[in-house]
Structure 1
Amino acid sequence: MSLENTISDAIKTAMREKDRVALDSLRAVKSQILLLKTEAKGAEVSAEQEIAILQRMIKQRKDSFEQFTAQGRTDLAEVEEAQMKVIEQFLPKQLSAEELESEVKKIISEVKAESIKDLGKVMGVASKALAGKSDGKSISAMVKQLLS
């Protein structure tokens, strides 16, 4: 089942349960997917593109959460955090720190990286291989740590 269908089913469930936060979050996701489809002019939207949408939306909410927290607006921060949790349910299982380290080590050996100078080569491969399984900031930090 595609992400769009899964989201539509979740919207129906949220409507029945009168879960306002989930409903708002899911409608935003569906809106982004429909926008991507419109931009693609009828072409099929890939799973990678759907995951990228979810990751971008989570990052936006995380940034908003941090800003609201810094400004002492806990009421708004709680809404952003709740929306993040709803959206995260539709992402693939995220890698733990140990799993991420293991995957990055494999990639480093595959591209024969030896120093921090090879950061670009490793990040290019790692970003594609680990898309949806970990965010770019975590991948970058792990690559830098292992190449240093």
Structure 2
Amino acid sequence: MAALLDRLQGDLTAARKAQDKSLTLVLGTTIAEARNREIELRRELVDDDVVDVVRKAIKRRREAVEMYDKAGRADLAEKERAEGTMLERYLPAQVDDAELRAAVRAAIQGGATNIGAVMGKVMPQFKGRAEGGTINAIAREELARQSTG
């Protein structure tokens, strides 16, 4: 079983004992989503699978924050923001932009001439450690620099 899933389960037990309702709800929901993913994949989850589930949960909360902000519901936006922060501590350490930029440049030098090719080469190197949107933005900058330079 995935060590991260064990950690989530242990933290859920601790949150229940501490009667932390919001953390209990967030962790319980995330564990349920992980179990559903396990059924979907028809195999035991590994840490990468659990990281994907956590990442998707955080992404959903960020999208909800945007919608609540647009609707003028600061209270609900803050609740979603707090839940996202609770989940972020279960993600592996993020890669800094300089390391991403170096990998993108290496992919371009290796013959990747469009955004799809660059993303295809760089994403697998940083799976679970960097956001696709961040890599995409850096790749677009570097490709633009290549075409003008």
- For normalisation by structure 1, the TM-score amounts to 0.88
CA-CA distance at 1:49 after TM superposition: 1.9
- Identity among equivalent pairs (%): 25
1:129-140 superposed matches below 5 A: 129-140=125-136
Q: Alpha carbon RMSD of aligned pairs, Å?
A: 1.6
* Contact 2:5 2:47 (8 Å CA) reproduced: no
Aligned residue runs from structure 1 range 1-148, under 5 A: 2-41=3-42, 43-109=43-109, 111-113=110-112, 115=113, 118-148=114-144
TM-superposed deviation, 1:83: 0.6
Once the two structures are TM-superposed, the CA of residue 40 in structure 1 deviates from its matched residue by 2.4
Which secondary structure state, in structure 2, belongs to the residue aligned with residue 94 of structure 1? coil
Structure 1: 4+ residue segments shifted above 6 A: none
Give the gaps of 5 or more residues in structure 1.
Answer: none
Q: Deviations over 1:30-58 (max 9, x none)?
A: 011110111223x1223222221111111
Return the offset for 1:103. Answer: 2.8
Shift of 1:119: 1.7
- Measure how far apart 1:65 and its partner are: 0.5
Question: Which letter maps to 1:144?
Answer: R
Residue 29 of structure 2 aligns to a residue in which SS?
helix
Aligned residue type for 1:27: G
1:45, 1:132 → 2: CA distance?
Answer: 15
Q: Are 1:4 and 1:30, in contact at CA under 8 Å, matched by a contact in 2?
A: yes
Alignment check: 8 A CA contact 1:21 1:82 kept: no
